A = this chain, B = another copy of it.
């Protein structure tokens, strides 16, 4: 990875940049040829640097997910765990909703992607934040980290369905708060 030829390194960067843009706009659905064209290289070149489209996708997405995890870790020792947690929750959704790549990654991460503990940092950091918020009495206790991931995916679906305002996420946040009633609906 270091002893690459100069043009190879250059092309690799171009492919990554193009993939980042294309995936962000249209998600995993974007044809690989489009990425190649956008990068100004041939399809073969893409495959020289990444074994598959999926691998390229993950390379692009992992970095971003890792940023989220990093941010979450930085927030772990905050004063007001409840506010910090909820704030973080909506920020993640807001960011991700602007990036189809992340939406797709999160949505399918239950299936098979990220299987090798790839995005586990994120999950762990999220769970930690949640736990602290719960211990502080700010968030209801009947959910865990996996539930949270599911909720994020759901919020992203909502956001995609009716973009903009984001006031619907607030409904979820309100539902997340502690002391939420014993709903007795069927």
Q: How far is the CA of A69 from the CA of B186 in the complex (A)?
A: 19
| Chain A 160-175 per-residue mask, 1 if CB under 8 angstroms from chain B, else 0 | 0110000110111111
Q: How far is the CA of A184 from the CA of B167 in the complex (A)?
A: 11
The segment out of A23-31, A41-49, A71-79, A144-152 that lies at the interface is A144-152
A43 shortest CB reach to chain B, Å: 26
A166 shortest CB reach to chain B, Å: 10
- Among residues 112 to 142 in chain A, which have CB atoms less than 8 Å away from a CB atom of chain B? 140, 142
User: Number of copies of this chain in the oligomer?
Assistant: 2
Contact B185 A86 (CB under 8 A): yes
- The answer to whether the Cβ of A6 comes within 8 Å of any Cβ in the partner chain is no
DSSP majority for the A interface? helix
Q: How far is the CA of A176 from the CA of B156 in the complex (A)?
A: 18
Could you show 18 A-B contacts with beta carbons less than 8 Å apart?
A87-B185, A90-B185, A90-B186, A91-B186, A107-B157, A107-B161, A143-B168, A147-B162, A149-B161, A150-B161, A151-B171, A153-B161, A154-B154, A154-B161, A171-B180, A173-B185, A174-B183, A175-B176
Residues of A within 8 A of B (CB): 83, 86-87, 90-91, 107, 110, 140, 142-143, 146-147, 149-151, 153-158, 161-162, 167-168, 170-177, 180-181, 183, 185-186
